Structure 1
Amino acid sequence: MARTTQGPRDAATRRGGNPDEGRYQRGQRRTAGEPLTASWRPDPDKQDTPPPRRKKSGVLGTYGWRIYAVPVLVVLTVLALMNMNDPAPDSAAQPGASTGATSTSGGEEPEPNIMGEAPSGKLNADIPSAELPGIKNYKDKGSGSWEVVRGTTNLFGRGGKLYKYTVEIEQGIDASTYGGADAFARTIDGTLQDQRSWVGGGNIRLQRVDNGTADIRISLTTSDTARRPDYCNFSIQYEASCWNNGKKRLVINLARWRYGAVAFESDLLLYRQYAINHEIGHAFGQRHKPCGENGALAPVMMQQSFGTANNYVWQLNQVDGGDKNAVPKDGKECRPNPWPVT
Structure 2
Amino acid sequence: MPTGAAGPGVPIPRQRRAQSAPGAGPRQDYLDAFRDGAAEEGGKSGDGDGTESGEDGATGATARSRGASRGTLPRPVPVQFAPPTGPTAAGTGTSPVAGTGPRAGSGGSGGRGGDGGDGGDGSVPPAADATPAGKSAKSAKGTKGRTFTGIAAAAVTTVLAVVVAGQVADDRSEAGAAQTAGGQDEGARTALGGGVQASPSPSHSAVALTYEQKMNLKYPLSPALKGSARFDVVPGFAKAPGRGRKFTYRVDVEQGLGLDGRLFADAVQKTLNDDRSWAHGGARTFERVSSGESDFVITLASPGTTAVWCEKSGLDTTEDNVSCDSAATPRVMINAYRWAQGAKTYGDRIYPYRQMLINHEVGHRLGHNHVTCEKDGELAPVMQQQTKFLDHDGIHCLPNSWPYPKS
| Structure-2-length-normalised TM-score | 0.43
Q: Which residue of 2 aligns with 1:337?
A: 400
TM superposition shift of 1:231:
6.0
Corresponding residue of 2:328: 246
Q: Distance in 1 between matches of 2:314 and 2:385?
A: 15
1:316-331 mapped onto 2 (5 Å cutoff): 330-331=393-394
Deviation readout 1:87-134 (Å, 9 max, x if unpaired): xxxxxxxxxxxxxxxxxxxxxxxxxxxxxxxxxxxxxxxxxxxxxx9x
Distance 2:398 2:321 in 1: 21
The CA distance in 1 between the partners of 2:361 and 2:348, in whole Å, is: 21
Q: Distance in 1 between matches of 2:350 and 2:313?
A: 24
The more displaced of 149-158 and 267-276 is 149-158
What are the equivalent positions in structure 2 for 1:184-263 lying under 5 Å apart?
Answer: 184-228=264-308, 229-230=311-312, 233-234=315-316, 236-263=318-345
Displacement, 1:244? 1.0
**Partner Cα separation in structure 1 for residue 358 and residue 314 of structure 2:** 15
Within 2, Cα distance between the matches of 1:199 and 1:274?
Answer: 15
Task: In structure 2, list runs of 5 or more residues that go unmatched.
Answer: 1-217
CA gap of 1:201–1:145, structure 2 versus 1, over 3 A, is farther
Q: Which has the higher contact order (CA 8 A, sep 6+)?
A: 1
Contact persistence 1:164–1:214 (CA under 8 A) = yes
% identical equivalent positions? 36
RMSD after superposition:
2.1
Judged with a 3 Å threshold, the aligned counterparts in structure 2 of structure 1 residues 164 and 232 are, in CA distance, closer, same or farther, namely farther
Partner SS state of residue 205, structure 1:
strand
Of 225-234 and 206-215, more deviation after overlay is shown by 225-234
Q: SS of the counterpart of 2:396?
A: coil
1:236–1:185: structure 2 CA closer, same or farther, 3 Å change rule? Answer: closer
Give 1:154's aligned residue.
239
How is 1:1-342 mapped onto 2 (pairs within 5 angstroms)?
Answer: 138-159=223-244, 161-173=245-257, 175=258, 178=259, 180-228=260-308, 229-230=311-312, 233-234=315-316, 236-310=318-392, 330-342=393-405
Q: Is the 8 A contact 2:312 2:328 kept in 1?
A: no
Contact 1:297 1:337 in 2 (8 A): yes
Q: Deviations over 1:138-174 (max 9, x none)?
A: 3112121321101111123342x3210111101232x
- For the residue of structure 2 that corresponds to 1:282, the secondary structure is helix
Aligned partners of 2:225, 2:367: CA distance in 1, in Å? 30
In 1, the alpha carbon distance for the partners of 2:319 and 2:378 equals 29
Change (3 A) 1:332 1:233: same
TM-score (norm: length of structure 1): 0.51
CA distance in 2: counterparts of 1:260 and 1:220, whole angstroms: 14
CA distance in 1, matches of 2:271, 2:221: 29
Gaps of 5+ in 1: 1-132, 311-329
Q: Hey, which of these two has a bigger chunk of helix by percent?
A: 2
- Give the deviation of 1:136 after TM superposition: 12
> Residue type matched to 1:183 in 2?
L
Shift of 1:298: 0.6
Is the Cα–Cα contact under 8 Å of residues 232 and 241 in structure 1 kept in the other structure? Answer: no
The runs of at least 4 consecutive aligned structure 1 residues that moved more than 3 Å come to none
* In structure 2, distance between residues paired with 1:242 and 1:232: 10
